[in-house]
């Protein structure tokens, strides 16, 4: 076994069977860089590969942080959905990038089945997009789009903090996701709102990022308009 990993025992909240899943040791994960949408790149071991626990017996999948956060209604719904299901592969050992991608797809499927909040789906889709980014796969854009759509829904309907995001961080992230998807006008609006937020004094790093990305996106917007004029 990789010395940077350890085994953690888990009881599945759906089928009640115990299984072991690998976790990354925090001190073994060295950060290489961070992207503007909060995606963290690691030198070697990426802890994201092991964030989703997948029950080898029934296929229930969820991040460790929300593994047992189920209402009785959700649990019953999932028990019915996963009854007699065969997983077909094991996620209990050391994982490849493709294994990590598959685990997040299962977590998204589980979240959709239990009708999880839009913010839960948004976070899972964003991390799946990052995994596709590590792979250099064009499906990154598809899941960035799903993430943006769900975060917009969450912004309108859920109360802050949403996950680990306060309102200024959410506005900034909506701006950055919009920018990456070529929605430059919307991005400029969200960055502007983040930079002017009452929360900016308590979140100077987010304010700084918002101002920098606002300026960058303004330039990109001007360049796109110039290109359109030249081609017309």
> Looking at the structure, do residues 19 and 124 belong to the same domain, yes or no?
yes
What is the reported pLDDT for 231?
A: 67
* pLDDT(80) > 70: yes
Last residue within a domain, chosen from 140, 165, 190: 165
Mean pLDDT of 218-229: 85
Mean pLDDT of 53-77: 89
> Looking at the structure, do residues 178 and 161 belong to the same domain, yes or no?
no
> Looking at the structure, do residues 134 and 204 belong to the same domain, yes or no?
no
Where in the sequence is the domain holding 85, given as residue range(s)?
1-165
> Looking at the structure, do residues 120 and 201 belong to the same domain, yes or no?
no
> Looking at the structure, do residues 158 and 178 belong to the same domain, yes or no?
no
Q: Does 80 reside within a domain?
A: yes
Residue 1 — pLDDT band, cuts 50, 70, 90? low
Q: Does 43 reside within a domain?
A: yes
Last residue within a domain, chosen from 165, 200, 219: 165
pLDDT above 70: percentage of residues in the chain: 97
> Looking at the structure, do residues 133 and 210 belong to the same domain, yes or no?
no
Q: Does 124 reside within a domain?
A: yes
Q: Using one digit for the tens of pLDDT, what is the confidence trace for 27-55?
A: 889 999 999 999 999 998 999 999 999 99
CA 54 – CA 101 distance, rounded (Å): 12
For residues 125-157, one letter each, b for 16 or more C-beta atoms within 10 angstroms of the residue's C-beta and e for the rest, the string is bbbbbbbbbbeeeeebeebbbbbbebbbebbee
What is the reported pLDDT for 122?
A: 98
What is the reported pLDDT for 65?
A: 86
> Looking at the structure, do residues 69 and 148 belong to the same domain, yes or no?
yes
Q: Does 100 reside within a domain?
A: yes
Mean pLDDT of 116-131: 97
> Looking at the structure, do residues 144 and 192 belong to the same domain, yes or no?
no
- List the structure tokens of 97: 């990038």
pLDDT above 90: percentage of residues in the chain: 78
97 burial (CB, 10 Å; 0-12 / 13-18 / 19+) is middle
What is the reported pLDDT for 71?
A: 86
Last residue within a domain, chosen from 111, 136, 165: 165
CA 172 – CA 28 distance, rounded (Å): 30
Q: Does 232 reside within a domain?
A: no
CA 173 – CA 179 distance, rounded (Å): 10
> Looking at the structure, do residues 182 and 223 belong to the same domain, yes or no?
yes
Q: Does 71 reside within a domain?
A: yes
Distances (CA, A) of 217 to 99, 147, 199: 35, 20, 22
> Looking at the structure, do residues 100 and 199 belong to the same domain, yes or no?
no
* Of 13 and 88, the one with more pLDDT: 13
What is the reported pLDDT for 229?
A: 65
Residue 89 — pLDDT band, cuts 50, 70, 90? confident
> Looking at the structure, do residues 96 and 155 belong to the same domain, yes or no?
yes
Query: Coil, strand or helix: which one is 61?
Result: strand
Q: Using one digit for the tens of pLDDT, what is the confidence trace for 129-158?
A: 999 999 999 999 999 999 999 999 999 999
> Looking at the structure, do residues 47 and 157 belong to the same domain, yes or no?
yes
The number of folded domains in the chain is: 2
Q: Using one digit for the tens of pLDDT, what is the confidence trace for 166-187?
A: 999 999 999 999 999 999 999 9
What is the reported pLDDT for 226?
A: 79
What is the reported pLDDT for 56?
A: 92
């Amino acid at each position: 076994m990789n010395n940077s990993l350890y085994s953690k025992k888990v009881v599945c909240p759906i089928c009640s069977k115990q299984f072991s899943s690998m976790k990354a040791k925090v001190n073994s994960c060295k950060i290489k860089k961070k992207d503007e949408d909060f995606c963290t790149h690691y030198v070697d071991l990426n802890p994201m590969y092991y964030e989703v626990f997948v029950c080898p017996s029934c296929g229930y999948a969820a991040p460790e942080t929300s593994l047992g956060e189920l209402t009785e209604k959700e649990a019953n719904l999932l028990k019915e959905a996963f009854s007699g299901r065969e997983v077909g592969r094991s996620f209990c050992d050391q994982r490849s990038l493709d294994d990590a991608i598959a685990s997040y797809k299962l977590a998204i499927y589980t979240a959709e089945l239990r009708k999880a909040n839009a913010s839960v789906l948004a976070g899972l889709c964003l991390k799946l997009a990052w995994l596709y980014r590590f792979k250099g796969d064009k499906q990154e854009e598809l899941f960035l789009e799903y993430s943006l759509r769900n975060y917009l829904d969450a912004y309108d309907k859920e109360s802050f903090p949403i996950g680990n995001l306060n309102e200024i961080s959410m506005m900034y992230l909506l701006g950055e996701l919009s920018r990456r998807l070529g929605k430059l006008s919307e991005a400029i609006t969200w960055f502007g709102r983040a930079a002017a937020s009452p929360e900016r004094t308590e979140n100077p790093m987010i304010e700084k990022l918002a101002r920098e990305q606002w300026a960058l996106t303004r330039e990109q917007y001007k360049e796109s308009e110039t290109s359109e004029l030249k081609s017309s």
